[in-house]
Amino acid sequence: MPLTISSRACDIGFQRKVREISGQNFGKCYQCGTCSGSCPMGEHLNALPRQLMALLQLGHRERLDNANTPWICASCHACAVRCPRGIDIPRVMEAMRQVQLRDNVDKVDLSKLTPEQLAEMPQIALVSGFRKMTS
Ligand code: SF4
Ligand code: SF4
């Protein structure tokens, strides 16, 4: 999908907040793709970690808001241990979640789960889902 770069699409404030919360300088990313190749969740992501870093460098809020990457990231650290630039990518994912959750964006809705799903779902999955995905 082509990427439109404009002052409307790019939000430097969002970029700054993610940098501050994560403590990571994603500007150092040189797009080698090692993180994307290491990610066990890659097939489920609509923006691979390498692409997310590029979008963050641009501050492309429009595309970042639509990226499922921070929500699906399993925080396994496979990307972080291999990044030649030493970027702690899971920390960046966590910061992106924090910024969006502070805007009262909830990514799970308990009321949409059926009683059968609730009965079958491990309690720990429910608790971790709520901690990770609700504001
Ligand atoms: S591994 Fe590091 S330098 Fe390479 S694309 Fe990923 S974040 Fe960028
Ligand atoms: S920490 Fe997240 S982005 Fe990095 S490899 Fe694991 S699942 Fe993928």
Residues 93-106 have pLDDT tens digits of 999 999 989 888 78
| Whole-number pLDDT of residue 67 | 94
Q: What is the pTM of this model?
A: 0.88
Distance 86 CA to ligand 1 centre (A): 8
51 within 8 A of 70, measured Cβ to Cβ: no
Domain residues for the domain of 43 are: 12-103
The pLDDT-based confidence of 108 (bands split at 50, 70, 90) is confident
The residues that bridge with 10 in the sheet, in sequence order, are: 60
- Count of domains in the chain? 2
Q: Residue 28 CA: which ligand 1 atom is closest? A: 3
* Residues 88 and 115 grouped into a single domain: no
What digits encode the pLDDT tens for the residues 39-81? 999 999 999 999 999 999 999 988 998 999 999 999 999 999 9
Distance 73 CA to ligand 2 centre (A): 5
* Residues 114 and 98 grouped into a single domain: no
How many angstroms separate the CA atoms of 45 and 90, rounded?
Answer: 14
* Residues 68 and 119 grouped into a single domain: no
Which position has the higher pLDDT, 117 or 91? 91
How many angstroms separate the CA atoms of 25 and 49, rounded?
Answer: 14
